[in-house]
Structure 1
Amino acid sequence: MTDTVHLSPPDVGPLEESYLVAALRSGWIAPVGPDLEAFENEIAARVGTRGAVAVNSGTAALHLALLGVGVKPGDAVVVPTLTFVATANAVRYTGARPVFVDCDARTGNVDVPLLTELLHRLRASGERVGAVVPVDMFGSCVDYTALLPACRDAGVPVVEDSAEALGAAHHGRAAGSFGRVGALSFNGNKIMTTSGGGMLVSDDLPLLARARHLATQAREPAVHYEHRETGYNYRLSNLLAALGRAQLVRLDEMIGRRRQLRDRYAKLLAPVPGVDLVGAEDVESNCWLTVIRVRPDRCGWRAADLAAHLAAHDIETRPVWKPMHRQPAFADAESLLTGAADDLFAEGLTLPSGSALTERQIVAVLGAIDEFLAARAGTTSA
């Protein structure tokens, strides 16, 4: 191969170019404009919420969402240990402290019975729990059928981190719509992108209005610049919103391409003992990332061995998220663990999953995996 196959590169083309050019020619170059409002309305319609607020990152969306549900300094906020660091960082931005809970070994999503136990423990010890932040991992929704009653019984609001899951669903209901407020990400590697960006989605219109106010430096409605409190420079620009509108038009197409690629991985790896696709049974996933779990005691090789082989062919892979309780920045955080996240970090591998991958690139990736399996098994595996 002569070009690197990336994990999840942006998928943009003529439609995105046309939307950006139209926005440029409209003269709406400054942060706000008609594309920004339209993008918010279109995302809200897609997710099925009453409103949305576009911001410059998924992290900003999480920060504002936590403030919106009333998280205060000193609160405990329950966060899955298997997540990207932004989830935990946003908790610290509020002055609260993250308390980590382990994952379900099959899906990578939060272990709901363990979460329920943790909520009971925290309440019994007199802790104020400001929020629970479930994360829809790798494009698959958490089991909200079980999680929402547990949080409701504990009297704790849910802030849904759906940064990875736009377009996914749980029992027909869209990712991002389960919590009091949800947070989406449009980072460059996500299912759809605005280069950088995020969105709050919610039925709670006063919460969204408050978030919009804080995201625009908390400026008061005066002819001069008036500020009664500290705000943030978090709004998404009109130009990036135009890019997002074009991406949203193509979202189902891009999800379909990722699903087709996952199916090809599943077919190739099905005969291999000790290798499973994480969350493969979720037919409502957006298939953002295809993650395999490799059990060396059954297959005779490690995930790192396959990663090294693919790297030699200029094919990018990545371990799953290093658990937050293993991160030096959160070494002092409280956790309730089973070892599931540690095992998935040790045995998991994320394969190239992007909808922008060409057929030639896909064939090269599948061929390199098959070559590795054949060398290990002595026979071809496809």
Structure 2
Amino acid sequence: MEKFENRVFMSSPTMHGDEQKYIKEAFDTNWIAPLGTNVDAFEKDMAEFIGCDGATALSSGTAAIHLAVKLAGIEADDTVFCSDLTFAATVNPISYEGGNAVFIDAERDTWNMDPAALRKAFQKYDDNVHEDGKLYKKPKAVIVANLYGTPAKLEEIRDICNEYDTVLIEDAAESLGATYKGMQTGRFGVYNAISFNGNKIITTSGGGMLLSDDTEALKKAKFWATQAREDLPYYYHKEIGYNYRMSNIIAGIGRGQLLHLDQHCKKKREIYDNYKEGFRDLPLSMNPFETCSMPNFWLSCILLDRGCKTTPDEIRRKLESYNVESRLIWRPMHMQPVYESNDFIASGDEYVGKDIFERGLCLPSDLKMTEDIQNSVIEIIKTMF
């Protein structure tokens, strides 16, 4: 098999033309700067789609998580429980506010936060001084991520948070369009974040959104996102603010993209199913999900069986030799040098996230990948076994 002339991407932007209508509208009205009719409409449409009472369009999904952390009242030395098997953007905003991230291991059914490990963490962090002389402060928030577009056990996690009277923040950056028990992800937390980065299921090139039923909190977030400028005829600031608001131009891209979200999810599911069928006789499995959920299948991933003679990185390098992009699974946060001193809690003796990282690989899941190209990718991978 010859090397692909054009690179086969994992997940690149896919435009449809509808985006141009809203971009042109912004140009025609000279409404180029942040805020504007596209931003207002994009917030309204997204809130209605997710099922939240309101939304605030921002410069990134990370900005949305940061403002959610601030709304949850996180300050210096506060404890926050968060997913361990995730991208750093899920957890870095805790550090922005001086908080202390405690990482919760993944579970097998979804590769997401393990509810049993979460409950174990709550039992440990009980506002008491333990035998080691340390004070284990009860967390102010829990941040759960939906890995690769697959919903976590959101209802169970939310129930545990409610039991311990702790704010839940849902990081739905990767799972827009996915559902859990018939409801869209991005509405299970008190505050919820989604991303429109260039590789996401829909994109605005960059950008994100904060969603909540607490519309007063969203007003506060919008205030912070526009440099915390007070409503006076001169610049007056009583709080630290941020330049986090979304541009009216890229909001127009988002409005056009949202029209095709269902189409994108359908195509991603076809890619996942084709991989699953193509690999049925190989010593590996696909990234799993619960029957009560419907992922958006943003990225299709494989998990090699234990004892497999090949490794994920060998497959990655083989694919790269054919100009095909793939990526190892997120390295867990407790294994990152910047967070190696943070606490990590698993439900048992086995570290599930670490095992998934060591045996897993994200495969090209691009919307523009033809079935023939995907079948060629499958054949390349088959040669590794």
TM-score computed with the length of structure 2 as normaliser: 0.93
For structure 2, the 5+ residue unaligned runs are: 129-135
Aligned ranges for residues 13-162 of structure 1 at < 5 Å? Answer: 13-123=16-126, 125=128, 126-162=136-172
**Secondary structure at 2:294's aligned position in 1?**
coil
C-alpha contact 1:315 1:365 (8 A) present in aligned 2: no
C-alpha contact 2:174 2:298 (8 A) present in aligned 1: yes
Cα 1:49/1:376, change in 2 over 3 Å:
closer
C-alpha contact 1:44 1:50 (8 A) present in aligned 2: yes
Q: Partner letter of residue 264 of structure 2?
A: M
**Secondary structure at 1:242's aligned position in 2?**
helix
Partner of residue 132, structure 2: none
C-alpha separation in 2, matches of 1:97 and 1:288? 30
Q: Partner letter of residue 20 of structure 1?
A: I
C-alpha separation in 2, matches of 1:47 and 1:30? 26
Cα 1:368/1:177, change in 2 over 3 Å:
closer
Cα deviation code 1:100-132 (max 9, x no counterpart): 010012321101111111111101534131100
Alignment pair present for 1:352 and 2:358 = no
Cα 1:372/1:129, change in 2 over 3 Å:
closer
Aligned ranges for residues 257-276 of structure 1 at < 5 Å? Answer: 257-272=267-282, 274-276=283-285
> Residue 148 of structure 1: CA displacement?
1.2
C-alpha contact 2:319 2:380 (8 A) present in aligned 1: no
C-alpha contact 1:319 1:350 (8 A) present in aligned 2: yes
For structure 1, the 5+ residue unaligned runs are: 378-382
Q: Partner letter of residue 219 of structure 1?
A: R
Alignment pair present for 1:224 and 2:234 = yes
When structure 1 is superposed on structure 2, of 328-337 and 196-205 the one drifting more is 328-337
Partner of residue 131, structure 2: none
Partner of residue 364, structure 1: 373
C-alpha contact 1:82 1:323 (8 A) present in aligned 2: yes
> Residue 229 of structure 1: CA displacement?
1.1
C-alpha separation in 1, matches of 2:367 and 2:265? 7
Partner of residue 353, structure 2: 341
Partner of residue 133, structure 2: none
Cα deviation code 1:217-258 (max 9, x no counterpart): 001111111111111110001111000000101110111111
C-alpha contact 1:295 1:302 (8 A) present in aligned 2: no
Q: Partner letter of residue 84 of structure 1?
A: F
What percent of counterpart residues are identical? Answer: 35
C-alpha separation in 2, matches of 1:312 and 1:363? 18
**Secondary structure at 1:365's aligned position in 2?**
helix
Partner of residue 284, structure 1: 294
Partner of residue 380, structure 1: none
Q: Partner letter of residue 366 of structure 1?
A: N
Alignment pair present for 1:182 and 2:182 = no
Q: Partner letter of residue 51 of structure 1?
A: G
Number of positions where the alignment pairs a residue of Structure 1 with one of Structure 2: 371
C-alpha separation in 1, matches of 2:366 and 2:6? 15
When structure 1 is superposed on structure 2, of 153-162 and 275-284 the one drifting more is 275-284
Partner of residue 5, structure 2: 2
C-alpha separation in 1, matches of 2:5 and 2:184? 39
C-alpha contact 1:182 1:200 (8 A) present in aligned 2: yes
> Residue 304 of structure 1: CA displacement?
2.1
Q: Partner letter of residue 194 of structure 1?
A: T
Q: Partner letter of residue 260 of structure 2?
A: R
Q: Partner letter of residue 163 of structure 2?
A: D
Cα deviation code 1:3-43 (max 9, x no counterpart): 11111001113112232122211211111101101000000
Partner of residue 266, structure 2: 256
Partner of residue 182, structure 2: 172
C-alpha contact 2:169 2:189 (8 A) present in aligned 1: yes
Alignment pair present for 1:319 and 2:331 = no
> Residue 182 of structure 1: CA displacement?
0.2
Cα 1:239/1:371, change in 2 over 3 Å:
closer
**C-alpha RMSD of the superposition:** 1.4
C-alpha separation in 2, matches of 1:143 and 1:87? 17
C-alpha contact 2:197 2:208 (8 A) present in aligned 1: yes
C-alpha contact 2:151 2:180 (8 A) present in aligned 1: yes
Structure having the higher helix fraction is 1
C-alpha separation in 2, matches of 1:314 and 1:230? 46
Alignment pair present for 1:304 and 2:313 = yes
Q: Partner letter of residue 292 of structure 1?
A: I
Q: Partner letter of residue 22 of structure 2?
A: Y
TM-score computed with the length of structure 1 as normaliser: 0.94
> Residue 96 of structure 1: CA displacement?
0.6
> Residue 376 of structure 1: CA displacement?
4.8
